[in-house]
Amino acid sequence: MSRPTSAIIDLRALRENFILAQKLAPNAKSMPMVKANAYGHGMIEVAHALADCAPAFGVACIEEALALRKANITQPILLLEGPHSADEVGIAEQHGFWLMLENHNQLQAVLSAQLSTAITVWIKLDTGMHRLGFQPEDATYIYQQLSSSPNVAEDIVLATHFACADDLKSNFTDKQLRCFKSAVDNLDGSEHSISLANSAAILGWPSIQDDWQRPGYMLYGASPFSEPHENAEQLQQVMHFQSAIISTRSIKTGESVGYTANWTAQRHSTIATVAVGYGDGYPRHAPNGTPVLINGVKCPLVGRVSMDMITVDITDLNSDIEIGTDVTLWGPGLSVTEVAVHCGTIGYELLTRMPARVPRIYINAK
């Protein structure tokens, strides 16, 4: 009998979320973001599950792209951070990778490369996030440099990234859109494609329609919004992070639990020990009261999270509890967003930090 901690990955739910992204923008091509091990879900398995419907994939770096090629993923793969060194341009040509260019070093690397086949490039414009991207006023010059180069394929894509699309009350997304439109309008009718929408924009900004959208977080069934949203409510959770109770005990009023004794029982209590800890990606800073789900009931975490175990107060459970009873850390009935809110973080972090130690078990492959 192996340790009961695992992540169940529902590939049917993944595909349904991809279909939703396409449905919300039927005239756009949807490029799944599979960087960071597909947000913790397993990059190779996720890519294979979407390979029959995804026209391309997005990754952060060339190492991720090469891993996909090694796994026989044949679609174009966009390197979202572009080349980190000049030699990566030649590697991109060899393997059919697309390059997002965001600075002048990358621009010169592409223009000066010795290539036999033109490569597809995307131009990243900084419209206000101030993380990556060329200045909007340089868009015309950058585009002209690339479009006149024999190293560059004809269909250049211009892109930006939204800083506040998950805040539907913010006017910052509209400000970024105006900035982007002004920059692109100066290209004087040149043939190009546009990519704007991330998950939050796909779900919450229906007026943003472009040629390439980049669904990421939403593919894995999690909402980028802090409040309910009708489109996000259609998402299906992909990961069920689960474990089981491995021990129980009764403690008296005034007794404490766990490292630093930071929780003390205010009554006679029943404590369950669950086989999961920060060594499995469960957040160490989860405070007392963070919910876990046992027999359909949310029960509070008590005591410090340790490397391999957590302790949970099950005093109020009416159902029979025994060693081996299943526990949901997040999944059906308990969203990763709810857990993240208790921990003062976001679901993105909890999903992507899950280590290889946790077995991924894939279901509904077809």
70, 141, 181, 259: the catalytic one is: 259
- Assess whether pLDDT exceeds 70 at residue 1: no
d(CA 280, CA 228): 29
Q: 82: exposed, middle or buried (C-beta count within 10 Å: 0-12, 13-18, 19+)?
A: buried
As annotated, the residues of the chain forming the CATH 3.20.20.10 domain(s) are 11-223
Contact 73, 48 (CB under 8 A): yes
In whole angstroms, give the CA distance from residue 97 to residue 119: 8
Encoded tokens for 216: 């990421």
Residue spans in the chain of domains classed CATH 2.40.37.10: 239-363
Whether 259 is catalytic is yes
Give per-residue pLDDT as tens, 137-178.
999 999 999 999 999 999 999 999 999 999 999 999 999 999
Contact present, 195 and 210 (Cβ < 8 Å): yes
Query: Which backbone phi and psi does 270 adopt, to 5 degrees?
Result: -110, 125
Span 219-228, average pLDDT: 95
> How is residue 366 written in tokens?
């077809």
The most distant pair of C-alpha atoms in the chain lies apart, rounded to whole Å, by: 78
Distance CA 245, CA 312 (A): 9
Average pLDDT for the chain: 96
Does the domain at 11-223 match CATH 3.40.50.920? Answer given as no
User: Residue 360's Cα: distance from chain center in Å?
Assistant: 16
Q: Helices (H) and strands (E) in the chain — how many of each?
A: 11, 18
Q: What is the pLDDT of residues 72-105, one digit of tens each?
A: 999 999 999 999 999 999 999 999 999 999 999 9
pLDDT bin (cut points 50, 70, 90) of residue 189 is low
> Residue 348 pLDDT more than 90?
yes
Q: In angstroms, what is the C-alpha Rg of the chain?
A: 24
Residues 210, 21: Cα–Cα separation, whole Å: 13
Asked if 156 and 122 touch (Cβ cutoff 8 Å), the reply is yes
| H, E, C per residue of 272-295 | EEECCCHHHCCCCCCCCCCEEEEC
In this structure, which topology does domain 239-363 adopt according to CATH?
Lyase, Ornithine Decarboxylase; Chain A, domain 1 (2.40.37)
Examine the residue annotation and report whether 141 is marked as an active-site residue of this protein. Answer: no
Closest CA to 46 of 27, 23, 73, 22: 73
- Measured at the alpha carbon of residue 351, what is the angle toward residues 347 and 354, in degrees to the nearest 5? 145
**pLDDT > 90 fraction of the chain, expressed in percent and rounded:** 95
Of 35, 39, 217, 282, the active-site residue reads 35
